[in-house]
Structure formats: C-alpha cells, structure tokens
A and B are shown apart, each in its own frame.
Chain A
Amino acid sequence: MDHSAKRRDFIKFLAASGALAGCAAVPETPKKPIGRVIVIGGGYGGATAAKYIRMWSPNIEVFMIDRGTEFVSCPLSNLVLGGSKKIEDLTVSYRGLRDHGVQVIRDEVTGIDLAKKKVKLTRIEDMPFDRVIVSPGVDIMFDQIPGLNNADAQKAILHAWKAGPDTVALRKQLEDMKDGGVYVLSIPKAPYRCPPGPYERACQVASYFKKAKPKSKVLILDANEDIVSKKGLFLKVWNEQYKGIIEYRNNAEVKDVDVKGMAAKLDFDTVRGDVLNILPPMKAGKIAESAGLITANNRWCGVDWLTMESVKAPGVHVLGDATLSAPLMPKSGHMANQHAKVAAAAVTALMNGQQPSREPMMVNTCYSFVNDKEVIHVASVHQYDVAEKTMKVVQGSGGVSAAPTELEGVYGLAWAQNIWNDMLA
C-alpha cells in the first residue's frame, strides 16, 4: 500500500473513531502542511508540546498518541489516598487539544523506526513523521523487586505511582485496612518521579488515619540517606501533626517482597505491613528503551537542552521524567511542561527554517499537600549554561515555603487548574 492510500485509510479510521468530530474551531492547517510531528504520550510533557506546536505553527500537522482516552494527573493524586479528592477530579478530556487541531489517537506505540522515520503502532499502520516527540514518563522496574515481578503480585502490592485505577485501588486497600494496621511505603533511590511525592503521600495517608483509624501507623522505608525533598518542612509537619503515626527509616532499601506474608525485605530485616505500597526503581518509559534513546545508567535519555533533541537520534525530542535530569532538576509534571515548551519552540523554529532559541529557561514549582488544606512548595529557576551545555539553577533563585499554609493550599489547587488548562484547553 502506498503512503497516500495508507493516509486515506488512516483518515477513515480517524473519522470512524470520532477523532475528527467537533473540528469547527480548529486552527486551519494549510492544504499542504510543512511537515508532521508525532507526539508519543499525552501527559504533562506530550500534551503541552502538542498544543504549543499547533498554537505557534499551525502549518505543522500534529498527531498525539496515548494509550489512554483521557488525561489523569499524578500531581494531586495523593489527595485521592487522603480522601479529599476523587480520581474524577484529576481527570481531563483530550477534547481541548482537538480544538487546537491536534489529532489525538488512542493506541500504543511499539517502536520507532529512526531510519525510515516511522512510528509503529498496534492498532493502525505505521505513521511517518518529520520529527517525533517522545514523552513516555517512567517505566516501573519490577525486575528489581523479584517477588513483584508478576501480574498477581502487582495487584496485591501496588505502587500507584501512575495515577488511575491503581490510585483508587490503593485507597480501597487503606479503607479496608483494620484500625491498628500498618501501611508501609517504600521509596527507591533517587532519581525517581516526583521527589517530594512519597513524603506527601505519607502525610495524606497519615491524615486519613488520624481521622478514620487513629491507632494505625505509616512506616516509610526510604532507600535514600535522607529525606530527598523539603526535608525541614516535612519533618516539622510529621512532628507537629502526625506524631506517633508516621515513622521514618532512612537507608532502608526494599530489595524484595513476600506477597503471601505481606512483608518487605530489606538487607538485614523483614518488615510486615497490612498494606504494602512499594515504589520500585524507575527508568525512562519503555518506548525510549526500544527506540534506543537511553544513554545514561541504562535508565535515562540524554538530551540537548536547547532543543530537547535526543543526543543519540536527530529529529527525536525527549521530554519529562524520561530525560537524564540536569543538575537539581526534578522529575515533575511542571518541569515536563517546561521541557515541552522549549521543545515546541525549537521544533517550530527548525521546521520553519529558523534558529532555535539560545536562551531557554525552565521553572519548577511543586506544591505538596501535607493535609487536606495546608501546602508547602519548592521552586527553582533553571537557565542554559553555554559552557557546560546543561540547565543550571540560577544562583539565588528558588526556595521552599516558610511553613505550611492554607493560602498555599488555595494556590496549589489553582496551580492544577491552570496547568491542566495550559496543556489541554
């Protein structure tokens, strides 16, 4: 089948699947677009890149491919465990992207043919591209926790580090747990997705226990030497709000689990729990690996920070958690959104025959909910360092909250509404 015939079939498929419905307000793509970008992954990075490329250069055709039918946010998903939010509150339709002319496809990418510049999919035919944006998030390394390396074990012991049905299932496990039970949360060695996330999760579960099961405990097993993010603030909250509920152990790396005995195995110790929530080590999402984009520690993808282009594959841009982070740069949704904008600016410039910017900036803001209402933040501003060819924190910028406040709780929720709108509306 030749390319145009495939393309006709593909359009038919889109029309049949309803992907072309409601196109009235779509920015018009010229009859002959200057090229095609395929975005793999519809999370904080991918969705933002897709929208911004269309916004800044409507002469480029953009397809975004994701396994899911809608966006579910990891940030705020700990509040589902705490009980103050439902998963529906964190779920946003991809419809707004279609209004920008992004063609959203539900499918799974199985490979990228770099030589032929084609993306391989499970449901539809290979799709050619001029540039591809890979924003796959993280892959959970179950093989590092042998007892967890099968489907049954993964249903009994959840990570819930990708928001969705597992988040709801973990909440159910907490609800079903008897009062006086122990919830064990393990944290892998950094870098992992969302540095303050596990400590926020401990707060949220403790906040639920305090109200509903006051004899229960939260035990944190941290593989790291110390609390990775917002240390002083989390310690203060644990001491003032969750004394006797949260127990923290550092240098406590979980190496295996016993699913039947509901126990986490450390080097010299075995810890039993009523609910085990194990976060295995993480690496760049599977597609990054199969496309050969991983360049560091067998886990992360090195990028040129001026364009977010893979250091290994020209024309392939990698965003978000999958990248080999620059110094002090967190793997966060907010940061993925910033990566996406640098990539969108570079891709639209390059495809229109212009120079990409030499002066990219990236900001990070992470709000953590220490209970239903109070929030603490960490922020940083990163600029491109020409000599070292990486992003570095601007000296004197950034910092953390002075104390947990309800005012920042309001800002934290407003942050979510604004960033979801910025990527999806």
Chain B
Amino acid sequence: MKIDKMSFEESIKKLEEIVKELEDENISLEESMEKFELGIKLSSNCLKKLNEAEGRIEELTRSEDGKLVTKELDLDKDS
C-alpha cells in the first residue's frame, strides 16, 4: 500500500512495528536501512495526517426538500 494512502492509525501502527523489528539484533544492516527509510516516511505521513484536518464546527440539518446540509456554527455568538 502506498504510504500517503495509509490512515493515521495504519501508519502509526506500522511505525511501531518497524521500531520493534529494528530492535532485533539479527536483522542485516541493509534490511535495517530499508526499514529505517520506511519508518521515516511513515512518521512524516503521521504528522501530515495530524495537520491535514481542517478545524471546523458545523451543524447538520435537513433542508426544506429533505436533503442533509451543513452550516458553519458559532456557538460563542449564540450563547
């Protein structure tokens, strides 16, 4: 699976696995380097996903014709 298609959960889980694998002393240097490289890519994907979401608060209602619509909600103004 392409790393940028992986969810945050999948990425961090895989990253944790890689760290565990690197702890194995029998792993070859070449393999270690490959895993290290993958690990770095996964961690940057995790950070990317963390910042990807857009901060928004919306209210879900139904329009007159019954369709689901959202509108921005400012609770501080209301209260």
Instruction: Indicate, yes or no, whether A interacts with B.
Output: no
Report A's interface with B, CB cutoff 8 A: none
